[in-house]
Chains A and B, each alone.
Chain A
């Protein structure tokens, strides 16, 4: 291999990125060294098994990826702003939309929600940690390694360019030579292992570790959606794992699962991808529904309307999510009967979703609605998501889909559902649980600026795209002509994208501003909350979560306690608490996984073997590791709780 195939050269944009990465890397090392924070970073974060800290790290990286994916989006929109633009060449454009899609789904939306789950779910069910804290740390590091591997592709070796769906045979060696597609396969594979483990972890946590008295039908809605999401993860991700492994074998070892030659079946990939890919949509949508349920109920000062119906709706949606994958290729000529079946199952998803929309509306009905920033995001979700939803029904009508398929109509639809549900929920959840994580609220005034500008930009960006689709503009083209007549709508869309970019800067500023100037929270209950996460003794919960695990007798457990005048923190006598020890092993294992991934990307098999041996050595080491945690002493608990009470 020549050096110019290893480091990407000859593109000023990429050179700029390389330089800025280098500078920020040096900057980070300097800051950590100057302030003597290396040990703190290692002890408090990298090796931590505390679910709240892992959750915060997930969210931090998700925001970083939101930035990267957003820059990708702005570059694409710049290229499409006017006819015959030459800002990006075809290859670069293709790489950018591929990484934009993959990063936003796999490395932004999912980890952001998993981060929130990590922070909130154990607190909501009154647990001290997740069921498998070691595994939780390992999941995080596999995610980081997968993310890192995927992200370095654009400076080392070249990014994947076959679309986030990576349809074969376009993604095969013959049509997509070079390491780009290998990055996609291994980055997703490694982070997918972590996601699958998180699914198992969350499921077991919710089933086995709920506080005394909390029946399944007393669980907060976010916990419910986390549970159902975890089940979808456990059922869907193995399909992706196998499909990715098969394509990796096709590319590295000459098998013919999906190739053109020797009887490979390219369409098998499309089927496998969407059998995972459609449930994946609900992996990022259902937790969002849970977040909105919590927030709408809290800020309407009212219990959730039709709780049981809400639960059954998410179960129905999760079942249907596995029965609709063919709607991603109605145009594959599957025949009228097949297309009719999948048309109906797809439209049927709108029924439980509609039930949820009306239940949210009726939750606000006869409530006392306060327009805090998390509530604003939740309210904005409803009309925007409905626009995305009804266009989804239009797409589900197969005969009409023949005209929308692969056009901007589709692009607009899925951005309307994914941004209005998932991204709005990420912002809403971040702002809502921010005081729980950091001990102070985000500034509401700046938050409102961020909200209005983002929502305006979002609609200006994506609404015109419905009309571009109906006007015959296919997705993924990098250039169009004057005669196509798409200039005006595209230009408006690009303006909207930059408005969203501006909003993101306001969010970042808000985080900085609030860190400096927001008043510190003295109670744990920042929003007059209803669920147990607000019952912990201090604003940043202690690492053991609850000095004494509360007993639950109804839904909205903490609200009930407040109504009845019970203080869950008033405890006569403290007892020592058993907690898991920190561990460095997952981080080490992650480093070996990186070796495996990087080695396989460039087909340096010796490096892959070294990494593989390392991973197995870590597993062997772990199986002889008899450290089963430690006890938090009564004195320490007394001390912590006393400090929390004095703060009040």
Chain B
């Protein structure tokens, strides 16, 4: 019996340590910028409270089940208890208090995330227009006059202001280690501030389902020192080819693409946040006709 108890304890310890070490490695709880940091903090804060609630319910349930299970020497059976206003008020008020305690930091964080991170808010943000197209990402740097496809370079320690829109289906820009996502929607623009504090490569992706190529709609975010970023911008401006509207229209046709770099942006002729029809019209120009994906005609493409 004692031996069993001991091994159980060891098992519990092992499980707990595995669980905690797992937590440390999890992307969302391994933030590399202030936005993701405040979100990770909020998550851990809520997990604490929630574990408390879970513990209370689990212990109560166990005690009641053991104590009042049907058995020969049953004690304390009282079939006609109607209820207890005192108890009911207690377990109404305690959740109310918990909700308030959780609401305050939640709301503060919601408002905080609408603006550039406080620590770097004195710096000019880098503006990036992130446009989702089935099933690729197009990033335009209007101030630098450059555009990339399926990858993103950013400087560290500076807020990045994403202006999000979509050429077709609704997507969501998500770079878990830098911060939570927001939707990209055609004919609209949403804004998202993110920031990287450390140099490195982070995974970014579309988190909102967009059909066939959805799983591949991902990109690398490379965070560089400001100097390296400036060098990259300059090189791109000088060496990369210009983006032509014809080439851009090809990108509008559903499909995946490899990484590309251009020394001009599509913002010169279209802003998807005000023109939701551009991609559909581009299909016409490219001669693309959507077909039933189950038909032979489609399979032969």
Residue of A nearest to B203 (CB): A472
**Chain B CB within 10 A, most for which of A94, A403, A407:** A403
Given A261-B280, A309-B88: A399 in contact with B207 (beta carbons within 8 A) = no
* B111 interface contact, C-beta 8 A: yes
Q: What is the bound-complex CA distance between A208 and B22, given in angstroms?
A: 57
A-side contacts of B245, CB under 8 Å:
none
Contacts A4-B295, A303-B81, A405-B172; is A400 near B42 (CB within 8 Å)?
yes
A307 touches B57 (CB 8 A): no
- The answer to the question of B2 belonging to the interface, with a C-beta cut-off of 8 Å to chain A, is no
Q: Please name the residue on chain A nearest to B52 by beta carbon.
A: A390
Within 8 A of A (CB), among B267-301: 276-277, 279-280, 283, 290-297, 299
- Stretch of A45-53, A113-121, A378-386 contacting B (4+ beta carbons < 8 Å): A378-386
CA of A343 to CA of B46, assembled, Å: 14
Among B65, B181, B190, B277, chain A packs the most CB atoms within 10 A around the CB of: B181
Structural contact, B169 and A368, CB atoms closer than 8 A: no
Per the 8 Å Cβ criterion, residues 298-330 of A in contact with B are 300-303, 305-309, 329
Residues in A with CB closer than 8 Å to B182 are 331-333, 402
- On whether A400 and B293 interact (CB within 8 A), knowing A361-B57, A361-B61, A369-B68, the answer reads no
* A402 & B50 in contact (Cβ 8 Å cutoff): no
Q: Does B176 contact A (CB under 8 A)?
A: yes
**Hey, which chain B residues are within 8 Å of A383, CB to CB?**
54, 57-58, 61
> Are B203 and A358 touching (Cβ within 8 A)?
no
Q: Is A474 an interface residue (CB 8 A)?
A: yes
Are A399 and B172 interface neighbours, CB within 8 A?
Answer: no
Whether A364 contacts B65 by the Cβ 8 Å rule is yes
Complex interface: stretch among A25-33, A60-68, A476-484: A476-484
CB nearest to A264 among chain B residues: B276
B230 to chain A, nearest CB (A): 30
Whether A174 lies near B212 (C-beta < 8 A) is no
Measured CB to CB, the closest approach of chain B to A455, in angstroms, equals: 14
Query: Does A91 reach chain B (CB closer than 8 Å)?
Result: yes
Least Cβ–Cβ distance between B193 and chain A, in angstroms: 11
How far is A90 from B296 in the complex, measured between Cα atoms in Å? 17
Given contacts A94-B211, A173-B290, contact A467 B88 (CB under 8 A): no
Identify which of residues 37-68 in chain B touch chain A, using a CB-to-CB cut-off of 8 Å.
Answer: 38-40, 42-43, 46-47, 50, 53-54, 57-58, 60-61, 64-65, 68
User: B149 interface residue, CB < 8 Å from A?
Assistant: no
Query: Which residue, B77, B96, B205, B209, has most C-beta atoms of chain A within 10 A?
Result: B209
Report the number of A-B residue pairs with Cβ-Cβ less than 8 Å.
306
**List of A residues within 8 angstroms of B240 by Cβ:** none
Nearest-CB residue, chain B, relative to A332 = B183
Query: With an 8 A cutoff between CB atoms, is A344 at the interface?
Result: yes
CB contact between B81 and one of A5, A366, A393, A479 (< 8 Å): that residue? A366
Instruction: List B contacts of A170 (CB < 8 A).
Output: 169-170, 209-211
B103 to A344, Cβ gap below 8 A? Answer: yes
User: B15-48 interface mask toward A, CB cutoff 8 Å, 1 = contact, 0 = none?
Assistant: 0000000110111110000001011101100110
Q: Are B294 and A158 in contact (CB under 8 A)?
A: yes
Query: Do A178 and B65 contact each other (CB < 8 Å), given the known contacts A357-B57, A470-B26?
Result: no
Quote the shortest CB–CB distance from B195 to chain A (angstroms).
14
Instruction: Report A-chain residues with C-beta under 8 Å of the C-beta of B69.
Output: 369-371
**Does residue B174 face the partner (Cβ distance < 8 Å to A)?**
yes
Over the window 165-178 of chain A, the binary record of Cβ atoms lying under 8 Å from chain B Cβ atoms (1 yes, 0 no) is: 00101100111111
- Interface contact B181-A400, CB-CB below 8 Å: no
Chain A, 198-240, CB within 8 A of any chain B CB: none
B residues near A404, Cβ cutoff 8 Å: 28
State the CA gap A266–B112 with chains docked (Å). 28
CB of B109 within 8 Å of the partner chain: yes
Picked from B70, B103, B295, the residue with its CB within 8 Å of the CB of A368 is: B70
Determine if B68 and A300 form an interchain contact, defined as CB atoms under 8 angstroms apart: yes
Q: How far is the CB of A373 from chain B (nearest CB, A)?
A: 15
**Chain B residues whose C-beta falls within 8 Å of the C-beta of A367 in the assembled complex:** 68, 77, 79
In the assembled complex, the Cα of A359 lies from the Cα of B96 at a distance in Å of 17
Decide yes or no whether B107 CB sits under 8 A from chain A: yes
In this assembly, does B187 line the interface, its C-beta being within 8 Å of a C-beta of chain A?
Answer: yes
Bound together, the chains give a CA A175 to CA B279 distance in angstroms of 11
Determine whether A456 belongs to the interface, using a CB cutoff of 8 Å to chain B: no
A163, A266, A364, A479: the one contacting B215 at CB < 8 Å is A479
Does B78 have its Cβ within 8 Å of any Cβ on chain A? yes
Is residue A582 contacting chain B, with contact meaning CB distance below 8 A? no
A361 to B111, CA, bound (A): 39
Inter-chain contacts of A10 with B (CB < 8 A): 299
Closest residue to B78 on the A side, CB-wise? A366
Q: How many whole Å from B253's CB to the nearest CB in chain A?
A: 12
Among candidates A5, A178, A354, residue contacting B95 with C-beta atoms closer than 8 Å = A354
Q: Is B73 close to A, CB under 8 A? A: no
Which residue from B23, B47, B88, B103 sits with its C-beta under 8 Å from A359? Answer: B88
Given A178-B292, A398-B110, A350:B99 Cβ within 8 A: yes
Residues of chain B in range 175-189 having any CB-CB distance to chain A below 8 Å = 176, 179-183, 185-188
Tell me whether A303 and B82 are in contact (CB under 8 A). yes
Judge if B238 is at the interface, Cβ distance under 8 Å.
no
- The CA of A470 and the CA of B53, in the complex, are separated in Å by 21
A544-B79 Cα distance, complex, nearest whole Å? 33
* List of A residues within 8 angstroms of B280 by Cβ: 174, 260-261
A329–B172 alpha-carbon span in the complex (Å) = 11
Interface string of B100-132 (1 = CB under 8 A from A): 001100110111111000000000000000000
Contacts of A467 in B (CB 8 A): 22, 26
- CB <8 Å contact, A394 and B50: yes
- In the bound complex, residues from chain A placing their C-beta under 8 Å from that of B213 are 90
Is the C-beta of A365 less than 8 angstroms from some C-beta in chain B?
yes
Once the chains are docked, how many angstroms separate the CA of A181 from the CA of B77? 57
Q: Which of A307, A354, A478, A480 has the most CB of B within 10 A?
A: A354
B39-A177 in contact (CB<8A): no
- With both beta carbons as reference points, the residue of chain A lying nearest to B254 in the complex is identified as A175
Q: Are B83 and A308 in contact (CB under 8 A)?
A: yes
- Given A158-B292, A470-B28, the answer on whether A390 and B106 have CB atoms closer than 8 Å is no
Contact of A177 with B81 in the complex, beta carbons under 8 Å? no
Given known contacts A366-B78, A399-B38, A343 and B50 CB-to-CB distance under 8 angstroms: no
Closest partner residue, chain B, to A304 (CB atom): B83
CA distance A391 to B214 in the complex (A): 26
CB <8 Å contact, A379 and B65: yes
CB contacts (< 8 Å) of B1 on chain A: these are none
Shortest CB–CB separation between residue A259 and chain B, in angstroms? 9
A301 contacts across to B, CB distance below 8 A? 77, 79
Which residues does chain B contribute within 8 Å of A370, judged by CB atoms?
Answer: 69-70
B208 an interface residue at 8 Å Cβ cutoff?
Answer: yes
Question: How far is it, in angstroms, between the C-alpha of A478 and the C-alpha of B276 when the chains are bound?
Answer: 28
Given contacts A260-B187, A403-B28, contact A364 B64 (CB under 8 A): yes
Q: List the 3 closest A-B pairs by CB distance, nearest first.
A: A402-B180, A178-B292, A333-B190
Residues of B within 8 A of A (CB): 22-23, 25-29, 36, 38-40, 42-43, 46-47, 50, 53-54, 57-58, 60-61, 64-65, 68-70, 74, 76-84, 87-88, 91-92, 95-96, 99, 102-103, 106-107, 109-114, 134, 164, 168-170, 172, 174, 176, 179-183, 185-188, 190-191, 203, 205-215, 254, 276-277, 279-280, 283, 290-297, 299
23 contacts between A and B (CB under 8 A): A4-B295, A10-B299, A174-B283, A176-B211, A260-B276, A264-B276, A303-B80, A340-B106, A348-B99, A350-B95, A359-B83, A364-B65, A366-B68, A366-B76, A367-B68, A387-B54, A391-B50, A393-B102, A397-B102, A399-B113, A471-B26, A472-B176, A474-B174
Given A266-B187, A403-B181, A406-B172, 12 further pairs, Cβ under 8 A: A2-B295, A91-B293, A175-B211, A260-B280, A305-B81, A339-B110, A351-B99, A354-B95, A369-B65, A398-B106, A472-B28, A478-B215
